[in-house]
Amino acid sequence: MVRKIIRAGHVIAFQNGGHRHLKDGTIVVEDDRIVHVGGGIFEGEADEVIDASDKIVTPGFINTHTHISESYLDRSFVEDRGPRNFYLSGLFEFLTARNGAITEEARQASISASMPELIRTGTTTVVEMGLSGHFVADQAEKAGLRAYIGEFYRSGRWYTTDGRSVSYEWWEDDGASLMQKAVDFIKAVDGRANGRIKGFLTPAQVDTCSEALLRRSRAVADDMKVPMALHASQSVPEFQEMVRRNGCSPIEWLEKIGFLGSDVLLGHAIMPGGSSWVNYHADDLDILADTGTNVAHAVWVFARRGIAMESYSKYLARGINMTLATDTSPQSMIEAVRWTAVIAKIMDRRSEVATAADVFNSATLSGAKSLGRDDLGRIAPGAKADLLFWEGASLFMTPMRDPIRNIVYSAQTEDLNSSMVDGVFIMKDRVVPGFDPKALAADLQKGAEHMWANMHHQDWAHRDIDALSPQSYPQYRA
Protein backbone atom coordinates (compact mmCIF):
# COMPACT_ATOMS: atom_id res chain seq x y z
CA MET A 1 0.00 0.00 0.00
CA VAL A 2 1.22 3.49 -0.93
CA ARG A 3 -0.24 6.38 1.05
CA LYS A 4 -0.23 9.97 -0.19
CA ILE A 5 -1.38 12.98 1.79
CA ILE A 6 -2.52 16.00 -0.22
CA ARG A 7 -2.78 19.31 1.62
CA ALA A 8 -4.72 21.78 -0.49
CA GLY A 9 -5.78 25.39 -0.15
CA HIS A 10 -9.19 24.52 -1.60
CA VAL A 11 -10.88 21.14 -2.12
CA ILE A 12 -14.17 20.52 -3.92
CA ALA A 13 -15.18 17.62 -1.71
CA PHE A 14 -18.32 15.45 -1.76
CA GLN A 15 -20.64 15.55 1.25
CA ASN A 16 -24.36 15.01 1.87
CA GLY A 17 -25.08 14.13 -1.75
CA GLY A 18 -23.26 16.99 -3.45
CA HIS A 19 -20.05 18.94 -3.92
CA ARG A 20 -18.89 21.20 -1.08
CA HIS A 21 -16.13 23.81 -0.87
CA LEU A 22 -13.57 22.81 1.75
CA LYS A 23 -10.88 25.37 2.58
CA ASP A 24 -7.48 24.18 3.79
CA GLY A 25 -8.44 20.58 3.23
CA THR A 26 -6.59 17.28 3.43
CA ILE A 27 -7.04 14.32 1.12
CA VAL A 28 -5.51 10.95 1.93
CA VAL A 29 -5.00 8.50 -0.92
CA GLU A 30 -4.08 4.86 -0.44
CA ASP A 31 -3.04 3.22 -3.70
CA ASP A 32 -5.81 4.14 -6.18
CA ARG A 33 -8.52 5.30 -3.75
CA ILE A 34 -9.34 8.16 -1.44
CA VAL A 35 -9.61 7.06 2.18
CA HIS A 36 -9.99 10.39 3.99
CA VAL A 37 -11.18 13.92 3.26
CA GLY A 38 -11.34 16.64 5.88
CA GLY A 39 -9.94 19.79 7.38
CA GLY A 40 -6.90 20.15 9.57
CA ILE A 41 -3.87 17.88 9.85
CA PHE A 42 -4.17 14.15 9.18
CA GLU A 43 -2.37 12.19 11.89
CA GLY A 44 -0.67 9.31 10.17
CA GLU A 45 2.37 8.18 8.24
CA ALA A 46 2.67 8.85 4.52
CA ASP A 47 4.90 7.74 1.68
CA GLU A 48 4.46 11.15 0.06
CA VAL A 49 3.11 14.49 1.19
CA ILE A 50 1.90 16.71 -1.66
CA ASP A 51 1.86 20.42 -0.95
CA ALA A 52 -1.08 21.90 -2.85
CA SER A 53 -1.62 24.78 -0.46
CA ASP A 54 -1.74 27.22 -3.40
CA LYS A 55 -3.97 24.93 -5.46
CA ILE A 56 -7.64 24.05 -5.97
CA VAL A 57 -8.17 20.29 -6.02
CA THR A 58 -11.29 19.05 -7.79
CA PRO A 59 -12.59 15.74 -9.13
CA GLY A 60 -11.47 14.93 -12.67
CA PHE A 61 -13.83 15.62 -15.56
CA ILE A 62 -15.73 12.77 -17.23
CA ASN A 63 -15.89 13.37 -20.98
CA THR A 64 -18.83 11.25 -22.14
CA HIS A 65 -18.71 11.51 -25.94
CA THR A 66 -15.57 11.61 -28.08
CA HIS A 67 -14.31 10.47 -31.48
CA ILE A 68 -10.60 10.78 -30.93
CA SER A 69 -9.61 8.73 -33.98
CA GLU A 70 -10.80 11.59 -36.17
CA SER A 71 -11.55 14.70 -34.09
CA TYR A 72 -8.16 16.29 -34.64
CA LEU A 73 -8.72 15.93 -38.38
CA ASP A 74 -11.74 18.26 -38.23
CA ARG A 75 -9.40 21.13 -37.48
CA SER A 76 -8.83 23.77 -40.19
CA PHE A 77 -11.49 22.12 -42.37
CA VAL A 78 -15.05 21.98 -41.01
CA GLU A 79 -15.21 25.40 -39.33
CA ASP A 80 -17.41 28.07 -40.94
CA ARG A 81 -19.14 25.38 -43.01
CA GLY A 82 -22.65 23.93 -42.67
CA PRO A 83 -24.87 23.37 -45.72
CA ARG A 84 -28.30 24.96 -45.44
CA ASN A 85 -29.74 22.01 -47.40
CA PHE A 86 -28.95 19.82 -44.40
CA TYR A 87 -30.04 22.41 -41.84
CA LEU A 88 -26.40 23.31 -41.03
CA SER A 89 -25.36 19.72 -40.26
CA GLY A 90 -21.97 18.69 -41.65
CA LEU A 91 -22.63 14.95 -41.34
CA PHE A 92 -23.73 14.17 -44.86
CA GLU A 93 -21.11 16.00 -46.91
CA PHE A 94 -18.08 17.00 -44.88
CA LEU A 95 -17.76 13.94 -42.66
CA THR A 96 -18.46 11.58 -45.56
CA ALA A 97 -15.69 13.18 -47.63
CA ARG A 98 -13.35 13.20 -44.64
CA ASN A 99 -13.95 9.60 -43.59
CA GLY A 100 -13.33 8.34 -47.11
CA ALA A 101 -9.87 9.92 -47.12
CA ILE A 102 -8.55 9.15 -43.62
CA THR A 103 -5.76 6.58 -43.44
CA GLU A 104 -5.12 4.31 -40.48
CA GLU A 105 -1.87 6.21 -39.92
CA ALA A 106 -3.80 9.48 -39.68
CA ARG A 107 -6.26 7.92 -37.22
CA GLN A 108 -3.43 6.70 -35.03
CA ALA A 109 -1.80 10.14 -35.14
CA SER A 110 -5.10 11.68 -34.02
CA ILE A 111 -5.48 9.14 -31.21
CA SER A 112 -1.95 9.66 -29.93
CA ALA A 113 -2.20 13.45 -30.00
CA SER A 114 -5.59 13.34 -28.29
CA MET A 115 -4.14 11.84 -25.13
CA PRO A 116 -2.13 14.88 -23.98
CA GLU A 117 -4.83 17.26 -25.25
CA LEU A 118 -7.52 15.53 -23.20
CA ILE A 119 -5.33 15.39 -20.11
CA ARG A 120 -4.13 18.98 -20.36
CA THR A 121 -7.73 20.23 -20.53
CA GLY A 122 -9.24 18.30 -17.64
CA THR A 123 -10.40 14.89 -18.85
CA THR A 124 -9.58 12.02 -16.50
CA THR A 125 -12.25 9.63 -17.85
CA VAL A 126 -12.99 9.54 -21.57
CA VAL A 127 -15.85 7.75 -23.35
CA GLU A 128 -14.57 7.02 -26.86
CA MET A 129 -16.70 5.69 -29.69
CA GLY A 130 -15.31 5.06 -33.13
CA LEU A 131 -12.65 2.94 -34.77
CA SER A 132 -9.13 1.66 -34.02
CA GLY A 133 -10.26 0.66 -30.54
CA HIS A 134 -7.24 -1.49 -29.73
CA PHE A 135 -4.88 1.39 -30.50
CA VAL A 136 -7.05 3.69 -28.36
CA ALA A 137 -6.77 1.21 -25.49
CA ASP A 138 -2.98 1.01 -25.88
CA GLN A 139 -2.57 4.79 -25.91
CA ALA A 140 -5.00 5.37 -23.02
CA GLU A 141 -3.13 2.80 -20.93
CA LYS A 142 0.17 4.46 -21.82
CA ALA A 143 -1.20 7.88 -20.85
CA GLY A 144 -2.82 6.65 -17.64
CA LEU A 145 -6.30 7.82 -18.63
CA ARG A 146 -9.46 6.05 -17.55
CA ALA A 147 -11.21 5.09 -20.79
CA TYR A 148 -14.51 3.54 -21.83
CA ILE A 149 -14.01 2.40 -25.43
CA GLY A 150 -16.57 1.16 -27.95
CA GLU A 151 -16.23 0.10 -31.58
CA PHE A 152 -18.87 1.53 -33.93
CA TYR A 153 -21.30 -0.79 -35.71
CA ARG A 154 -24.45 -0.13 -37.73
CA SER A 155 -26.81 -1.62 -40.30
CA GLY A 156 -25.81 0.69 -43.13
CA ARG A 157 -24.61 4.17 -43.96
CA TRP A 158 -25.92 7.51 -45.12
CA TYR A 159 -24.73 9.31 -48.23
CA THR A 160 -25.82 12.00 -50.67
CA THR A 161 -25.67 11.93 -54.45
CA ASP A 162 -26.71 15.51 -55.05
CA GLY A 163 -25.92 17.59 -51.94
CA ARG A 164 -29.65 18.11 -51.38
CA SER A 165 -31.06 14.87 -50.00
CA VAL A 166 -29.86 12.00 -47.81
CA SER A 167 -29.92 8.40 -49.01
CA TYR A 168 -29.16 5.16 -47.14
CA GLU A 169 -27.24 2.06 -48.17
CA TRP A 170 -28.13 -1.04 -46.14
CA TRP A 171 -25.78 -3.97 -45.60
CA GLU A 172 -26.81 -7.55 -46.21
CA ASP A 173 -25.97 -8.84 -42.73
CA ASP A 174 -27.67 -5.88 -40.96
CA GLY A 175 -24.43 -5.02 -39.18
CA ALA A 176 -24.16 -8.43 -37.44
CA SER A 177 -20.46 -8.90 -38.25
CA LEU A 178 -19.54 -5.42 -37.03
CA MET A 179 -21.54 -5.93 -33.84
CA GLN A 180 -19.76 -9.23 -33.19
CA LYS A 181 -16.44 -7.46 -33.67
CA ALA A 182 -17.58 -4.84 -31.11
CA VAL A 183 -18.53 -7.56 -28.61
CA ASP A 184 -15.22 -9.36 -29.12
CA PHE A 185 -13.41 -6.07 -28.57
CA ILE A 186 -15.10 -5.60 -25.18
CA LYS A 187 -14.08 -9.10 -24.13
CA ALA A 188 -10.50 -8.43 -25.19
CA VAL A 189 -9.90 -5.11 -23.42
CA ASP A 190 -12.35 -4.85 -20.52
CA GLY A 191 -10.55 -4.62 -17.19
CA ARG A 192 -7.08 -3.75 -18.50
CA ALA A 193 -4.81 -1.35 -16.59
CA ASN A 194 -6.18 -1.93 -13.09
CA GLY A 195 -9.70 -1.69 -14.53
CA ARG A 196 -9.11 1.74 -16.09
CA ILE A 197 -9.91 0.36 -19.57
CA LYS A 198 -13.55 -0.64 -19.99
CA GLY A 199 -15.59 -1.61 -23.02
CA PHE A 200 -19.13 -0.67 -24.01
CA LEU A 201 -21.51 -1.06 -26.94
CA THR A 202 -21.97 1.78 -29.38
CA PRO A 203 -24.35 1.32 -32.30
CA ALA A 204 -23.50 4.37 -34.38
CA GLN A 205 -26.59 6.41 -35.22
CA VAL A 206 -30.31 5.93 -34.73
CA ASP A 207 -31.00 6.34 -38.46
CA THR A 208 -28.28 3.90 -39.59
CA CYS A 209 -29.33 1.08 -37.23
CA SER A 210 -32.28 -1.22 -37.79
CA GLU A 211 -34.79 -2.05 -35.08
CA ALA A 212 -33.43 -5.61 -35.01
CA LEU A 213 -29.85 -4.40 -34.48
CA LEU A 214 -30.84 -2.07 -31.64
CA ARG A 215 -32.93 -4.77 -29.97
CA ARG A 216 -29.95 -7.15 -30.16
CA SER A 217 -27.78 -4.41 -28.69
CA ARG A 218 -30.16 -3.96 -25.78
CA ALA A 219 -30.15 -7.70 -25.05
CA VAL A 220 -26.36 -8.03 -25.28
CA ALA A 221 -25.79 -4.94 -23.10
CA ASP A 222 -28.07 -6.42 -20.45
CA ASP A 223 -26.27 -9.75 -20.63
CA MET A 224 -22.75 -8.27 -20.54
CA LYS A 225 -23.72 -5.50 -18.09
CA VAL A 226 -22.03 -2.79 -20.14
CA PRO A 227 -23.25 0.74 -21.02
CA MET A 228 -24.47 1.74 -24.47
CA ALA A 229 -24.10 4.93 -26.49
CA LEU A 230 -26.03 6.04 -29.58
CA HIS A 231 -26.28 9.23 -31.63
CA ALA A 232 -29.93 10.32 -31.72
CA SER A 233 -31.86 13.51 -32.49
CA GLN A 234 -28.65 15.13 -33.71
CA SER A 235 -29.82 16.64 -37.03
CA VAL A 236 -32.98 17.76 -38.79
CA PRO A 237 -32.56 15.29 -41.70
CA GLU A 238 -32.18 12.42 -39.22
CA PHE A 239 -35.29 13.51 -37.30
CA GLN A 240 -37.36 13.82 -40.49
CA GLU A 241 -36.17 10.43 -41.74
CA MET A 242 -37.16 8.68 -38.50
CA VAL A 243 -40.60 10.32 -38.54
CA ARG A 244 -41.02 9.18 -42.15
CA ARG A 245 -40.11 5.59 -41.25
CA ASN A 246 -41.91 5.22 -37.93
CA GLY A 247 -44.48 8.00 -37.61
CA CYS A 248 -42.87 9.27 -34.42
CA SER A 249 -39.76 11.04 -33.17
CA PRO A 250 -36.44 9.16 -32.85
CA ILE A 251 -36.66 9.23 -29.05
CA GLU A 252 -40.29 8.04 -29.06
CA TRP A 253 -39.24 5.17 -31.33
CA LEU A 254 -36.30 4.22 -29.10
CA GLU A 255 -38.67 4.05 -26.14
CA LYS A 256 -41.13 1.88 -28.09
CA ILE A 257 -38.47 -0.69 -28.96
CA GLY A 258 -37.19 -0.83 -25.37
CA PHE A 259 -33.75 0.59 -26.07
CA LEU A 260 -33.62 3.47 -23.56
CA GLY A 261 -32.53 3.21 -19.93
CA SER A 262 -30.17 4.43 -17.25
CA ASP A 263 -27.24 2.65 -18.92
CA VAL A 264 -27.71 4.53 -22.22
CA LEU A 265 -25.84 7.69 -23.23
CA LEU A 266 -27.63 9.51 -26.04
CA GLY A 267 -25.45 11.86 -28.01
CA HIS A 268 -26.65 14.53 -28.54
CA ALA A 269 -30.44 14.67 -28.26
CA ILE A 270 -30.19 18.31 -29.27
CA MET A 271 -33.20 18.26 -31.63
CA PRO A 272 -35.95 16.41 -29.75
CA GLY A 273 -39.65 16.70 -30.41
CA GLY A 274 -40.66 20.16 -29.29
CA SER A 275 -37.52 21.85 -30.62
CA SER A 276 -38.05 24.75 -32.99
CA TRP A 277 -35.59 23.07 -35.34
CA VAL A 278 -37.95 20.16 -36.05
CA ASN A 279 -41.36 21.78 -35.44
CA TYR A 280 -42.80 18.45 -34.31
CA HIS A 281 -44.64 17.99 -31.04
CA ALA A 282 -43.48 15.10 -28.87
CA ASP A 283 -42.81 14.61 -25.17
CA ASP A 284 -39.21 13.54 -25.75
CA LEU A 285 -37.76 15.26 -22.70
CA ASP A 286 -40.29 13.53 -20.45
CA ILE A 287 -39.35 10.20 -22.04
CA LEU A 288 -35.66 10.79 -21.34
CA ALA A 289 -36.38 11.75 -17.74
CA ASP A 290 -38.84 8.90 -17.11
CA THR A 291 -36.51 6.23 -18.55
CA GLY A 292 -33.44 7.61 -16.77
CA THR A 293 -31.64 7.92 -20.09
CA ASN A 294 -28.50 10.06 -20.03
CA VAL A 295 -27.66 12.81 -22.52
CA ALA A 296 -24.09 13.51 -23.64
CA HIS A 297 -24.16 17.24 -24.42
CA ALA A 298 -21.30 18.42 -26.63
CA VAL A 299 -22.11 22.09 -27.04
CA TRP A 300 -19.23 23.21 -29.27
CA VAL A 301 -19.70 20.85 -32.21
CA PHE A 302 -23.13 22.43 -32.77
CA ALA A 303 -22.51 25.99 -31.60
CA ARG A 304 -19.78 26.47 -34.19
CA ARG A 305 -22.46 25.94 -36.86
CA GLY A 306 -25.06 28.18 -35.25
CA ILE A 307 -27.06 25.37 -33.58
CA ALA A 308 -27.90 25.34 -29.88
CA MET A 309 -29.86 23.11 -27.51
CA GLU A 310 -33.22 24.58 -26.39
CA SER A 311 -31.94 24.41 -23.71
CA TYR A 312 -29.52 22.67 -21.37
CA SER A 313 -31.13 24.25 -18.30
CA LYS A 314 -34.60 23.10 -19.40
CA TYR A 315 -33.35 19.52 -19.75
CA LEU A 316 -31.96 19.79 -16.22
CA ALA A 317 -35.28 21.15 -14.96
CA ARG A 318 -37.04 18.09 -16.45
CA GLY A 319 -34.79 15.83 -14.38
CA ILE A 320 -32.64 14.53 -17.25
CA ASN A 321 -29.12 13.43 -16.33
CA MET A 322 -27.07 15.87 -18.41
CA THR A 323 -23.42 14.95 -18.96
CA LEU A 324 -20.81 16.97 -20.85
CA ALA A 325 -18.49 16.04 -23.67
CA THR A 326 -16.18 17.46 -26.30
CA ASP A 327 -17.03 15.32 -29.35
CA THR A 328 -14.69 17.20 -31.69
CA SER A 329 -11.71 19.51 -31.78
CA PRO A 330 -10.74 21.17 -29.51
CA GLN A 331 -11.13 18.31 -27.05
CA SER A 332 -11.19 20.61 -24.04
CA MET A 333 -13.49 20.03 -21.09
CA ILE A 334 -12.44 23.45 -19.82
CA GLU A 335 -14.13 24.93 -22.88
CA ALA A 336 -17.02 22.46 -22.66
CA VAL A 337 -18.14 23.64 -19.21
CA ARG A 338 -17.78 27.31 -20.22
CA TRP A 339 -19.62 27.10 -23.55
CA THR A 340 -22.40 25.01 -21.99
CA ALA A 341 -23.05 27.69 -19.38
CA VAL A 342 -22.83 30.63 -21.76
CA ILE A 343 -24.86 29.20 -24.66
CA ALA A 344 -27.62 28.05 -22.30
CA LYS A 345 -27.86 31.53 -20.79
CA ILE A 346 -28.14 33.02 -24.28
CA MET A 347 -30.85 30.55 -25.30
CA ASP A 348 -32.90 31.19 -22.15
CA ARG A 349 -32.08 34.90 -21.95
CA ARG A 350 -31.44 34.41 -18.26
CA SER A 351 -28.21 34.80 -16.35
CA GLU A 352 -29.06 32.71 -13.30
CA VAL A 353 -29.53 29.40 -15.17
CA ALA A 354 -26.83 26.97 -16.31
CA THR A 355 -24.73 28.04 -13.35
CA ALA A 356 -21.12 27.15 -12.71
CA ALA A 357 -22.35 24.55 -10.21
CA ASP A 358 -24.74 23.06 -12.79
CA VAL A 359 -22.12 22.54 -15.48
CA PHE A 360 -19.49 21.36 -13.00
CA ASN A 361 -21.97 18.76 -11.69
CA SER A 362 -22.61 17.65 -15.28
CA ALA A 363 -18.90 17.24 -15.92
CA THR A 364 -18.36 15.18 -12.76
CA LEU A 365 -21.27 13.62 -10.84
CA SER A 366 -23.62 13.27 -13.81
CA GLY A 367 -20.93 11.71 -15.96
CA ALA A 368 -20.20 9.19 -13.23
CA LYS A 369 -23.91 8.38 -12.89
CA SER A 370 -24.21 7.74 -16.62
CA LEU A 371 -21.51 5.07 -16.36
CA GLY A 372 -23.04 3.50 -13.24
CA ARG A 373 -20.08 4.62 -11.14
CA ASP A 374 -20.45 6.07 -7.65
CA ASP A 375 -16.66 6.03 -7.24
CA LEU A 376 -15.92 8.65 -9.92
CA GLY A 377 -16.58 12.37 -10.21
CA ARG A 378 -16.24 13.09 -6.49
CA ILE A 379 -13.68 13.51 -3.73
CA ALA A 380 -14.92 11.23 -0.97
CA PRO A 381 -13.74 8.18 0.95
CA GLY A 382 -14.00 5.12 -1.28
CA ALA A 383 -13.84 7.09 -4.53
CA LYS A 384 -11.11 6.63 -7.09
CA ALA A 385 -8.29 9.16 -6.74
CA ASP A 386 -8.95 10.93 -10.05
CA LEU A 387 -8.04 14.54 -9.27
CA LEU A 388 -7.30 17.86 -10.95
CA PHE A 389 -4.89 20.40 -9.43
CA TRP A 390 -5.71 23.97 -10.50
CA GLU A 391 -3.65 27.08 -9.91
CA GLY A 392 -5.20 29.19 -7.18
CA ALA A 393 -3.23 32.38 -7.64
CA SER A 394 -2.51 32.71 -11.37
CA LEU A 395 -3.28 35.71 -13.56
CA PHE A 396 -6.55 34.16 -14.77
CA MET A 397 -7.61 32.69 -11.42
CA THR A 398 -7.31 35.75 -9.17
CA PRO A 399 -8.98 37.32 -7.38
CA MET A 400 -10.67 34.17 -6.12
CA ARG A 401 -13.73 33.92 -3.93
CA ASP A 402 -15.60 31.04 -5.59
CA PRO A 403 -13.23 28.42 -7.11
CA ILE A 404 -15.89 26.81 -9.31
CA ARG A 405 -16.92 30.09 -10.91
CA ASN A 406 -13.27 30.87 -11.59
CA ILE A 407 -12.71 27.46 -13.19
CA VAL A 408 -15.85 27.60 -15.34
CA TYR A 409 -15.67 31.22 -16.47
CA SER A 410 -11.98 32.17 -16.30
CA ALA A 411 -9.56 29.23 -16.25
CA GLN A 412 -7.23 28.65 -19.17
CA THR A 413 -5.39 25.45 -20.06
CA GLU A 414 -2.28 26.79 -18.32
CA ASP A 415 -4.24 27.01 -15.05
CA LEU A 416 -4.57 23.23 -14.86
CA ASN A 417 -1.24 22.31 -13.30
CA SER A 418 -1.49 18.57 -12.69
CA SER A 419 -3.82 15.59 -13.09
CA MET A 420 -4.05 12.34 -11.17
CA VAL A 421 -5.81 9.09 -12.10
CA ASP A 422 -5.89 6.09 -9.75
CA GLY A 423 -3.66 8.01 -7.36
CA VAL A 424 -0.89 8.45 -9.95
CA PHE A 425 0.06 11.72 -11.61
CA ILE A 426 -0.56 11.47 -15.35
CA MET A 427 0.38 15.13 -15.76
CA LYS A 428 2.63 17.15 -13.49
CA ASP A 429 3.48 20.83 -13.92
CA ARG A 430 1.64 20.75 -17.27
CA VAL A 431 3.84 17.98 -18.68
CA VAL A 432 2.26 14.73 -19.91
CA PRO A 433 5.10 12.20 -19.91
CA GLY A 434 5.65 9.84 -22.84
CA PHE A 435 4.23 12.13 -25.53
CA ASP A 436 6.39 14.37 -27.75
CA PRO A 437 4.27 17.35 -28.88
CA LYS A 438 6.49 18.15 -31.89
CA ALA A 439 6.47 14.59 -33.18
CA LEU A 440 2.71 14.30 -32.65
CA ALA A 441 2.11 17.55 -34.54
CA ALA A 442 4.28 16.39 -37.45
CA ASP A 443 2.37 13.09 -37.72
CA LEU A 444 -0.95 14.93 -37.60
CA GLN A 445 0.08 17.36 -40.30
CA LYS A 446 1.20 14.52 -42.57
CA GLY A 447 -2.04 12.61 -42.05
CA ALA A 448 -4.21 15.69 -42.57
CA GLU A 449 -2.45 16.70 -45.77
CA HIS A 450 -3.00 13.23 -47.23
CA MET A 451 -6.68 13.41 -46.21
CA TRP A 452 -7.17 16.88 -47.72
CA ALA A 453 -5.61 15.72 -51.00
CA ASN A 454 -7.98 12.76 -51.30
CA MET A 455 -11.38 14.07 -50.19
CA HIS A 456 -12.61 14.37 -53.77
CA HIS A 457 -12.77 10.58 -54.09
CA GLN A 458 -15.66 10.24 -51.61
CA ASP A 459 -17.37 13.60 -52.10
CA TRP A 460 -20.59 13.34 -54.11
CA ALA A 461 -19.45 16.09 -56.53
CA HIS A 462 -15.75 15.10 -56.43
CA ARG A 463 -14.83 18.52 -55.08
CA ASP A 464 -11.34 19.14 -53.80
CA ILE A 465 -10.57 20.54 -50.35
CA ASP A 466 -10.54 24.17 -51.50
CA ALA A 467 -14.00 23.82 -53.04
CA LEU A 468 -15.37 22.01 -50.00
CA SER A 469 -13.78 24.41 -47.51
CA PRO A 470 -12.33 27.58 -49.06
CA GLN A 471 -9.47 29.27 -47.22
CA SER A 472 -10.36 32.20 -44.97
CA TYR A 473 -8.27 34.54 -47.15
CA PRO A 474 -6.96 34.17 -50.69
CA GLN A 475 -3.27 33.48 -51.08
CA TYR A 476 -0.88 36.41 -51.15
CA ARG A 477 0.64 36.80 -54.59
CA ALA A 478 4.18 38.17 -54.87
Residue 440 included in any domain? no
Do 270 and 191 reside in the same domain of the chain?
yes
- In angstroms, rounded to a whole number, what is the distance separating the alpha carbons of residues 152 and 220? 15
Residue finishing a domain among 427, 447, 465 = 427
Please indicate, yes or no, whether residues 81 and 174 belong to a single structural domain of this protein. yes
Query: Are 239 and 266 within one domain?
Result: yes
Residues 50 and 66 in one domain: no
What are all long-range contacts of 438-441, with beta carbons under 8 Å and residues at least 24 apart?
440/109, 440/112, 440/113, 440/116, 441/113
Distance (Å, whole) CA 415 – CA 55: 10
Looking at the structure, do residues 270 and 136 belong to the same domain, yes or no?
Answer: yes
Do 295 and 335 belong together in one domain?
yes
* Cα 362 to chain centroid, rounded: 12
421 and 331 housed in the same domain: no
Residues 121 and 270 in one domain: yes
**Is residue 452, in this structure, part of any structural domain at all?**
no
* Among 370, 396, 417, residue at a domain's last position: 370
Taking the whole predicted model, whether its pTM rises above 0.95 is answered as: yes
- Of the three residues 327, 351, 370, the one that is the final residue of a domain is 370
420 and 329 housed in the same domain = no
Asked if residue 159 is part of any domain, the answer here is: yes
What domain count does the chain have?
A: 2
Domain containing 401 — which CATH number?
2.30.40.10
The answer to whether residues 315 and 192 belong to one domain is: yes
Q: Which of 427, 435, 413, 440 is nearest to 110 (CA)?
A: 440
Rounded Cα–Cα distance for residues 237 and 246 (Å): 14
On whether both 251 and 308 belong to a single domain, the answer is yes
Residues 312 and 330 grouped into a single domain: yes
pLDDT digit string (tens) for the chain, length 478 residues = 999 999 999 999 999 999 999 999 999 999 999 999 999 888 889 999 999 999 999 999 999 999 999 988 889 888 888 888 888 888 888 878 888 899 999 999 999 999 999 999 999 999 999 999 999 999 999 999 999 999 999 999 999 999 889 999 999 999 999 999 999 999 999 999 999 999 999 999 999 999 999 999 999 999 999 999 999 999 999 999 999 999 999 999 999 999 999 999 999 999 999 999 999 999 999 999 999 999 999 999 999 999 999 999 999 999 999 999 999 999 999 999 999 999 999 999 999 999 999 999 999 999 999 999 999 999 999 999 999 999 999 999 999 999 999 999 999 999 999 999 999 999 999 999 999 999 999 999 999 999 999 999 989 999 999 999 999 999 999 9
Domain residues for the domain of 10 are 3-60+379-427
- CATH number of the structural domain spanning residue 145: 3.20.20.140
